[in-house]
Amino acid sequence: MNALVAPEPLPATLDPEKTALLARLADGLAPEQLYWVAAWSAARAGQVQRGVAPLESPAADVAAARLTILYGSQTGNAKRLAEALAGRSESGGLPVRLVRADAYSHRELARETQLLIVISTQGDGEPPDDARGLVEFLLGKRAPRLPGLHYAVLGLGDSSYPQFCEVGRQLDARLAALGATRLAPLGEADVDIDQVAVPWAARALEQARERLGRAEPPVVRAATVHALPARGAYSREKPFAATVLANQRIVSRESERAVHHLELSLEGSGLRYAPGDAVGIRPTQPPALVEQWLQALHLDGTQEVTHDGRTLPLAQWLGRERELTRLSRAFVAAHAAASGDADLMRVLRKEHAASFAQLLASHQPIDLLRRYRAAWPAEALVAALRPLTPRLYSIASSPRAVGEDEVHLTVARVAYEAFGMPHWGAASAFLAATGEDASLPVFIEPNERFRLPAEDRRDIIMIGPGTGVAPFRAFVQDRRESGARGRNWLFFGNRHFTRDFLYQVEWQEALKSRALHRLDLAFSRDGAHKTYVQHRLRERGRELYAWLEGGAHLYVCGDASHMAKDVHAALLDIAVAHGGHSADTAREWLADLLTQGRYAHDVY
Amino acid sequence: MPALSEFELVKERSRQLRGSIAEGLADPVTGAIGEADTKLLKFHGSYQQDDRDLREERRKQKLEPLYSFMLRARLPGGVVTPAQWLVFDRLARDYASSGLRITTRQTFQWHGILKNDLKPTIAAINHAMASTIAACGDVLRNVVSTPLPMQSAAHAEAYAWAAKLSEELAPRTTAYHELWLDGEKLVGEPEPEPLYGRSYLPRKFKIGLAIPPLNDIDVFAQDLGLIAIAGDGRLAGFNLAIGGGMGATHGDPTTYPRLAEVVGFVTPDRLRAAAEQIIAIQRDWGDRGERRHARLKYTLDRRGTDAFKAELERRLGFALEPARPYRFEHNGDRYGWLQGGDGRWHLTLHIESGRLLDRGERRLLSGMRELARVHTGDFRLTCNQNVIVANVEAGDRARIDAIVAGHGLDGYRRQSAIRRHAIACVALPTCGLAMAESERYLPTILDRLEAQLARHGLLEAPILLRLSGCPNGCSRPYLGEIALVGRAPGRYDLRLGADFAGQRLNRPYRENVDEPAILDALEPLFARYAAERSPGEGFGDFLVRSDVLGPARQIPAEGIA
Ligand code: SRM
Ligand SMILES: Cc1cc2nc3c(=O)[nH]c(=O)nc-3n(C[C@H](O)[C@H](O)[C@H](O)COP(=O)(O)OP(=O)(O)OC[C@H]3O[C@@H](n4cnc5c(N)ncnc54)[C@H](O)[C@@H]3O)c2cc1C
Ligand SMILES: Cc1cc2nc3c(=O)[nH]c(=O)nc-3n(C[C@H](O)[C@H](O)[C@H](O)COP(=O)(O)O)c2cc1C
Ligand code: SF4
């Protein structure tokens, strides 16, 4: 990280009033915004020296002269890419400003000339939380015409989801429709992001440079001190080998679905985390699964295979380097071609989107290999499969409580029968099976958007059924250790009270010691009719609304496909029932909580 | 008098057994209820327990113990109608974890009922015209009575008295209705308890009624034993035997099993008053400072039986008549078909340690359900954990035999004598006081003993074996010819030498020994018994006669005239 030299105190350069004004201005700005202010003042200084008349609008001027990079990111990929882009354009001499989508004022859009957007798709084709506002604005009626804008969109996604890169596609199309001109065609990056991201970035920056090139060499550079965060010795690219301190099943023996509590040592890694962050893990495929592949394809695991200039035995390519459990459109297409199967061909066509989605949801690649026979040469196979991507797990501990060198996870083991065969989830099965003292390749995935309130007197409401409870164990630990004054209210749910009450004993102690103030439970399969957290929310609607009106922060963690949606709907109903809202104002009320950072998601 | 024990304070403050049970039941975060409330819940007929097999595992899983509740019915004389049986059976399948359990006080227990299911279960039991109130707790317990209605007339009368006492001396609190039957909430002062007062008895109080020659309820193990005396086929009255009890504590000589002493005779019309006054004196004289010494048997040994009797007669305003002669033959059950005085038939089935459950071939729970569907008489549970299909018309016997055989309920036909008569208490995994296995160990130890007895040609010798997982003695082990009393996992005290009529306590023979040591100790004794017994002589009697056990230990009031 390029260290910042704090400015020498210059006595009497600013009168107290101006100093105060400056402080007020700077107060609450995001780092990127502060850097931008710095850059702008620098530019201003240059102009003043050269006697240029002050400009009526700083934004207009600088906007015209620089490249803006917007990103929307849930789990940090888009953020990382955008930061890298900013880094490169700077070193390439481009005046640049890096802004997270929700820190960007929509009004500025009309003045932008060069804009790059890096954005992922979440949920079922939805924007990441930090970009909900921007996307809504852009796709909405109030979006301005943008004839003067040159732009390029890089969509991040995962082709194992039916709505692949949906958000990127929408923005790219919409900007064009608003009259803007592409600097580069839409990039649709799959989980092996760089494949697409690298060429896209080269092209987009090249184009932007041409257009900005004519603008006078910006003084801005001198002062441009951009916001690349600290990188520890270990990272996603270079994971740390964490020792497993404990691996304990924490559901009863009758429970249908195994959930494991893992405790890992970060000692010596220099890795640091805060409640809300996640741990990334590079799994190793279940050996039994690799065996299944080799058998299904009659391939020899010891055979050496070279790809991207690396040579490894096939079994290792499959076991450590490739996705074997998540089906992608690309692979379905490749296998359709390889097998020449008519049904597979058909399901790939647009008009069969529904059955294709169905296929993705119900099949793992191995199921296809078995059902539609095809001969795969080892090299071709390795090339056709996507690199194995790390999995994320919400951190279930607070460094304040367990020490900086220890981190806890709550992992639900994916394992199920389908087509008469056992199926596994790559990472969760791997984790559930690791013995103590084994070591796991891990990194920390910060999640700035899922943080405890800065003011410790704020109340918090935590909604975390299933493994969604993980970060809230961290939250409660942290608020207990820091002696936070706000109240903590947890909504937890699972299947059976006697089997699946994750961390039951800890919650009981927390209630006794007043580290947790309220706990509402929903066990879906105990009673005659199923109850879920959203039902409890409605039952407690009045108090819940009162807490929120009192400034409480609301957090939702866990299942994205159903729970998060149902909870969202319940919250809207509550606003109507107890807040005197109309359906519309309720939506605004919730959107407003979101933008205030008081309604945060960590869903998957 | 020492300071009141903690339990006494809990009772006193409980507002007639309410405490905060309702709040505890409503707490969704735990499967348990408040510590103090668990004591009060007993008076409602339920014990909070947890599956001890899973304790450690669940602790590691960060889960609380698997709490559940044992529920005990109050069935005077152990009489159950077929209609009630079907209800109890359904509850066992809907809410309980291990079928129906016939207890050594001839009633049913359900184990493993989850907190939320407790209320519906209790409500259903009451709906079936039965109850669970005072099935446990410091009150008069379920009154037991010889179930086999041989001399029909006298038996009917005797049973009527057992039921009457059970009914009339039960607590009066409306807390039970309030908590389980949606009775309306108490406002203001709790209703009075004429007999029990605000803190009930110092300890449980048990009444049992025996009709000689059957002592199948172990009348001398009761706080108050009633020995029915018949005169020309009708009921003349009762000998009163007071101060029986089994419970003891390892290594505490101030606690011990004790047989009841016969103190006199009353006619039926005076029975209620006598029983009530005996309970009242125990209420006033019993030790409320130390629960270990709170049973009537200790009150008598502390104050003297004569003083107690004098106080009783003072309160009654009349003297007890001298005890009448009686003779007990034995304290086991008589298996198979027997015809009663009125010509109707009774079938006694052996149920191993009283557990009615479907296990492979032996579909005992289902079998009894089938019987309940067709049976026109009633059922009688016995204090030896067995069941009698009572009052069967001659014409129905074949059909009943078929169902019995079809579900493996006919074990009594094949089993060795020792297996037929053995009883074992529940112990692990539910009993919180168990030190060793009992019910789950019974089949194994029986196999071993049968092998041994077979070698000595003793398979048909009726030997009374009783197993308890701890010295509390729920299987009345101190009255077993052979008894194993649990001390630690796999370790027991071996006690020998009781008679087979419930009139002589056994004595310690080996302390704290494991299975091999138990078998080694018995081997030579079986050998001698096989060789030297006189005709019809029981194992216990033989051991005493042949002086294997040495001089009798002086346990107060051991044995009786
Ligand atoms: C179910 C039963 C044994 C069986 O296998 O059938 C039983 C089971 C228990 N007995 Fe008992 N007792 C049972 C008959 C007896 C008997 C036999 C009798 O009454 O004829 C005795 C010996 C006679 C006596 O009372 O002295 C007996 C003496 C005890 C004692 C010791 C009392 C004493 O004075 O020392 C305890 C412990 C206590 O009360 O503190 C006890 C306590 C218990 C508890 C409730 C353990 C507890 O307090 O937490 C056991 C529940 C185990 C379970 O999981 O079900 N149980 N208990 C019997 C139920 C009888 C009924 O239906 O009411
Ligand atoms: C920010 C974030 C935080 C997370 N936190 C947690 C956490 O705290 N705890 C946690 O357990 N997980 C968490 N996850 C999810 C986790 O990252 C993995 O996605 C999850 O463990 C599954 O990964 P896997 O490798 O085991 O299975 P994969 O190999 O990724 O998936 C296996 C395949 O099986 C399919 N499949 C899965 N289950 C079934 C089923 N029942 N029937 C049919 N098909 C099925 C899937 O569609 C998939 O194609 C989090 C995810 C994110 C993004
Ligand atoms: C809960 C969840 C839902 C997702 N849904 C989609 C989707 O519908 N379509 C898609 O293309 N990618 C989807 N993805 C994949 C992400 O877009 C992909 O991991 C991307 O790299 C995340 O970038 P980010 O970390 O910047 O958010 C989903 C990921 C998660 C965790
Ligand atoms: S004797 Fe002991 S172990 Fe057996 S049931 Fe009674 S209290 Fe439990």
DSSP string, A80-96: HHHHHHHHHHHHTT--E
Specify the ligand 1 atom closest to the Cα of B246.
26
- For residues A482-499, average pLDDT: 97
- pLDDT for A76 equals 87
Please measure the distance between the N-terminal and C-terminal CA atoms of chain A and give it in whole angstroms.
32
Which residues lie across from B234 on neighbouring strands? B231
Ligand 1 neighbourhood includes B246 CB (under 6 angstroms): yes
Closest B-chain CA to A491: B29
pLDDT in tens, A63-82: 667 899 999 998 889 999 99
> Pick the residue with more confidence: A58 or B48?
B48
Q: What percent of chain B has pLDDT over 70?
A: 98
Give the C-alpha separation, B348 to B340, whole Å.
13
The first and second tokens of residue A245, run together, are 């301190």
Give the C-alpha separation, B311 to B295, whole Å.
18
Tell me the pLDDT of chain B averaged across its residues: 94
Asked if the Cβ–Cβ distance from A498 to B114 is below 8 Å, we say yes
Asked if the Cβ–Cβ distance from A248 to B116 is below 8 Å, we say no
Give catalytic residues of B, as residue numbers. 72, 141, 204, 206, 425, 431, 470, 474
Give the C-alpha distances (Å, rounded to integers) separating A529 from A139, A299, A523, A532, B91.
Answer: 40, 50, 10, 10, 20
Whether pLDDT at A325 is above 70:
yes
Place of tokens 């009914």: B167
When CB atoms are compared, the residue of A248, A508, A521 closest to B61 is A248
3-class DSSP state of B351: coil
- For residues B479-501, average pLDDT: 96
pLDDT in tens, B55-81: 999 999 999 999 999 999 999 999 999
Do residues B458 and B466 make contact, with C-beta atoms less than 8 angstroms apart? no
Most confident among A548-557, B1-10, B249-258 (mean pLDDT): A548-557
Pocket test for ligand 3, best of A156, A170, A191 (most atoms within 8 A of CB): A156
Place of tokens 């080269």: A202
Q: Alpha helix (H) ranges present in A178-216? A: 194-213
Whether pLDDT at A49 is above 60:
no
Instruction: Give A12's pLDDT tier (boundaries 50, 70, 90).
Output: very low
Please give the distance, rounded to the nearest whole angstrom, from the Cα atom of residue A323 to the centre of ligand 2.
13
Whether pLDDT at B547 is above 90:
no
Residues in chain B: 561
Nearest by Cα to A346 from A338, A335, A356 = A356
- For residues B265-277, average pLDDT: 97
Give the C-alpha separation, A571 to A392, whole Å.
27
- pLDDT for B233 equals 76
Ligand 3 neighbourhood includes A125 CB (under 6 angstroms): yes
Closest A-chain CA to B59: A505
Whether pLDDT at A16 is above 70:
no
Taking contacts as CB-CB distances below 8 angstroms, the residues of chain B near A508 are 29-30, 64
- pLDDT for B189 equals 81
Ligand whose nearest atom lies closest to the CA of A159: 3
Number of CB atoms found within 10 A of residue B407's CB: 20
Specify the ligand 3 atom closest to the Cα of A603.
1
Asked if the Cβ–Cβ distance from B58 to A252 is below 8 Å, we say yes
When CB atoms are compared, the residue of B29, B63, B116 closest to A252 is B63
The first and second tokens of residue B498, run together, are 């009781």
Place of tokens 């296929």: A359
Q: Alpha helix (H) ranges present in B384-441? A: 397-406, 411-414, 417-421
Q: Give the contacts of A439 (CB within 8 A, at least 6 positions apart).
A: A241, A242, A243, A244
- pLDDT for A3 equals 38
> What letter represents residue B529's amino acid?
Y
Ligand 2 neighbourhood includes A284 CB (under 6 angstroms): no
> Pick the residue with more confidence: A39 or A73?
A73
pLDDT in tens, A91-147: 888 889 999 998 888 888 988 999 999 999 998 899 998 898 899 899 988 899 999
Nearest by Cα to B473 from B531, B524, B529, B431 = B431
Name the interface residues of A facing B (CB cutoff 8 Å): 248-253, 261, 497-498, 501-508, 511, 519, 521, 526
Please give the distance, rounded to the nearest whole angstrom, from the Cα atom of residue A190 to the centre of ligand 3.
9
Give the C-alpha separation, A387 to A194, whole Å.
11
Whether pLDDT at B295 is above 80:
yes
pTM: 0.85
- Indicate which of B25, B27, B29, B49 best probes the interface with A, i.e. most A CBs within 10 Å of its own CB: B29
Give the C-alpha distances (Å, rounded to integers) separating B380 from A273, A446, B30, B339.
Answer: 68, 70, 38, 15
Asked if the Cβ–Cβ distance from B64 to A504 is below 8 Å, we say yes
Provide the sign of the torsion angle of the four alpha carbons A345, A350, A351, A353, taken in this order. Answer: positive
Which residues lie across from B239 on neighbouring strands? B227, B265
Give the C-alpha separation, B83 to B80, whole Å.
8
- Could you check whether the bond before residue A58 is cis, i.e. omega within 30 degrees of 0? no
Asked if the Cβ–Cβ distance from A508 to B28 is below 8 Å, we say no
Give the C-alpha separation, B58 to B51, whole Å.
10
Whether pLDDT at A54 is above 60:
no
Please give the distance, rounded to the nearest whole angstrom, from the Cα atom of residue B213 to the centre of ligand 4.
29
Give the C-alpha separation, A373 to A296, whole Å.
8
Number of CB atoms found within 10 A of residue A57's CB: 9
Ligand 3 neighbourhood includes A165 CB (under 6 angstroms): yes
Ligand 3 neighbourhood includes A74 CB (under 6 angstroms): yes
Ligand 2 neighbourhood includes A392 CB (under 6 angstroms): yes
Taking contacts as CB-CB distances below 8 angstroms, the residues of chain A near B51 are none
Ligand 4 neighbourhood includes B469 CB (under 6 angstroms): yes
- Could you check whether the bond before residue B322 is cis, i.e. omega within 30 degrees of 0? no
- pLDDT for A37 equals 65
> Pick the residue with more confidence: B229 or A103?
B229
Instruction: Give A437's pLDDT tier (boundaries 50, 70, 90).
Output: confident
Whether pLDDT at A402 is above 80:
yes
- For residues B243-256, average pLDDT: 94
Do residues B492 and B519 make contact, with C-beta atoms less than 8 angstroms apart? no
Specify the ligand 1 atom closest to the Cα of B291.
40
> What letter represents residue B203's amino acid?
R
Do residues A553 and A458 make contact, with C-beta atoms less than 8 angstroms apart? yes
Whether pLDDT at A213 is above 80:
no
- For residues B509-520, average pLDDT: 96
Q: What percent of chain A has pLDDT over 70?
A: 86
Closest B-chain CA to A251: B61
Whether pLDDT at A214 is above 60:
no
Q: What Rg value do the Cα atoms of chain A yield, rounded?
A: 26
- For residues B410-439, average pLDDT: 96
> What is the spatial order of strands in the sheet that B355-356 belongs to?
B46-50, B67-72, B108-113, B100-102, B355-356
- pLDDT for A75 equals 85
- pLDDT for B205 equals 98
- pLDDT for B391 equals 95
Ligand whose nearest atom lies closest to the CA of B353: 1
Ligand whose nearest atom lies closest to the CA of A158: 3
Asked if the Cβ–Cβ distance from B66 to A261 is below 8 Å, we say no
- For residues A249-262, average pLDDT: 97
Q: What Rg value do the Cα atoms of chain B yield, rounded?
A: 23
Closest B-chain CA to A504: B63
Name the interface residues of B facing A (CB cutoff 8 Å): 28-31, 54, 57-64, 66, 114, 116
- pLDDT for A216 equals 42
The first and second tokens of residue A435, run together, are 């013995």
- For residues A320-341, average pLDDT: 95
CA distance B58 to chain A (A): 7
CA distance B527 to chain A (A): 48
Give the C-alpha separation, A601 to A246, whole Å.
28
Ligand 4 neighbourhood includes B470 CB (under 6 angstroms): yes
Specify the ligand 4 atom closest to the Cα of B432.
8
Whether pLDDT at A26 is above 90:
no
Whether pLDDT at A232 is above 70:
no
Give the C-alpha distances (Å, rounded to integers) separating B2 from B202, B286, B288, B300.
Answer: 13, 12, 8, 18
Specify the ligand 1 atom closest to the Cα of B136.
63
Please give the distance, rounded to the nearest whole angstrom, from the Cα atom of residue A604 to the centre of ligand 2.
8
The continuous run of DSSP H or E covering B280 comes out as: helix B268-285
Q: Alpha helix (H) ranges present in A437-522? A: 470-481, 497-500, 504-512
Specify the ligand 1 atom closest to the Cα of B438.
5
CA distance A502 to chain B (A): 7
Taking contacts as CB-CB distances below 8 angstroms, the residues of chain B near A506 are 62
Taking contacts as CB-CB distances below 8 angstroms, the residues of chain B near A536 are none
Ligand 4 neighbourhood includes B128 CB (under 6 angstroms): no
Taking contacts as CB-CB distances below 8 angstroms, the residues of chain A near B60 are 248
- pLDDT for A266 equals 97
3-class DSSP state of B134: coil
